Amino acid sequence: MDLSIIIVNYNTTELTLNCLQSVFDIKTHYQYEVILIDNGSRDDSISLVEELYPQTILIKNEHNVGFSRANNQGIRVAGGQYILLLNSDTTVEPSTLETMINFMDIHPEVGASGCKVVLPDGLLDKSCRRGFPTPLTTFYYVSGLSKLFPTSPRFNSYHMEYLSEDAAYPIDCLVGAFMMVRREVVDQVGLLDERFFMYFEDTDWCYRIKEAGWLNYYYPMTKITHFKRGSSRGRPYRITYEFHRAMKLFYDKHYRSKYPFWVTILMYAGIATKFGLTVLKDQLWKVAKRADSSKRTGKENTKGISPGQ
């Protein structure tokens, strides 16, 4: 088996079916398998997958075990020379798998690679080629200096916008929405760290891969489309919490022992402040949305129209 494609599903019926359709529409001489891990979905996604794509290998969890643990379940049963983490909210191009496997075959020094990831509007998903979030890089990003100086290698070392999105080069970090990893690398550095429920698990994996002497490579000669959330406003509290918890976990794991205590204090304070502001912003947005909804309903009722009409 050349490639094992691992997809995690959680209540995303339409997105998952579109993703699978794009994968199975691919014509390639490489052999690949698709492993779908369901994290306790309550919709009809699994029954439809079983009906429409019976060739899919299914792993069904009773509840949501998180992104890292679910992917690890797939990796453990995967038989491919390469492992591809693929988000359920993506669609691949007809040439994507062929192009990326060819690249990995020709470049044995590359441990993990990712293609160009674009949003539905055609713009680049900036998370597909990133620098590691060192304390200084994080400061430049959070303070807004990266936006003020987008072409500066120093100030914009996180999203790396000073580099062409159409050129290929080694980078620090790929995105788990599309990340192809050599089996040899997985055997060497280990699986995803399951302490990361969601967020930063891909960053942590890339960090360990690079530390082990492999290259992480951005190769934009093919692309996928990522149908991620158009806005993070109003997102559930759990998502906000897990993002900031993962940020702290990554810092503690890779940077805390390398910096003086005052840097750690500043990092913790920054993470806590960002978490608080994000929660406040989301709550205010929800309140405004409810108020707007009530206002519209009131106007309808004054016109003799019931909300159900």
For the stretch 6-58, pLDDT in tens is 999 999 999 999 999 999 999 889 999 999 999 999 999 999 999 999 999 99
What topology is assigned to 3-129+165-226 in CATH? Spore Coat Polysaccharide Biosynthesis Protein SpsA; Chain A (3.90.550)
- How many percent of the chain have pLDDT more than 90? 78
Residue 296 clears pLDDT 90, i.e. is over it: no
Mean pLDDT, to the nearest integer, of 48-73?
Answer: 96
- Give, as one character, the DSSP assignment of residue 208: H
Question: Which of the two residues, 167 and 27, has the higher pLDDT score?
Answer: 167
Other beta carbons within 10 Å of 217 = 21
Residues 162, 156: Cα–Cα separation, whole Å:
7
Distances in Å between the Cα of 139 and the Cα atoms of 37, 269, 293 are 36, 12, 38
CA 114 from chain center: how many Å? Answer: 12
**Span(s) in the chain for CATH 3.90.550.10:** 3-129+165-226
pLDDT band per the 50, 70, 90 thresholds, residue 229: low
What is the pLDDT, as a whole number, of residue 286? 79
Q: For residue range 250-295, list pLDDT tens digits in order.
A: 999 999 999 999 999 999 998 898 888 888 888 888 788 777 777 7
pLDDT band per the 50, 70, 90 thresholds, residue 303: low
pLDDT band per the 50, 70, 90 thresholds, residue 308: very low
The label of the residue with tokens 């699986």 reads: 191
Q: How many CA atoms lie within 13 A of 228 on its CB side?
A: 21
Residue 232 clears pLDDT 50, i.e. is over it: no
Residues 56, 17: Cα–Cα separation, whole Å:
11
Task: Answer whether 43's CB lies under 8 Å from 74's CB.
Answer: no
Residue 233 clears pLDDT 50, i.e. is over it: no
Question: To 10 degrees, the CA torsion angle through 25, 31, 32, 33?
Answer: 110
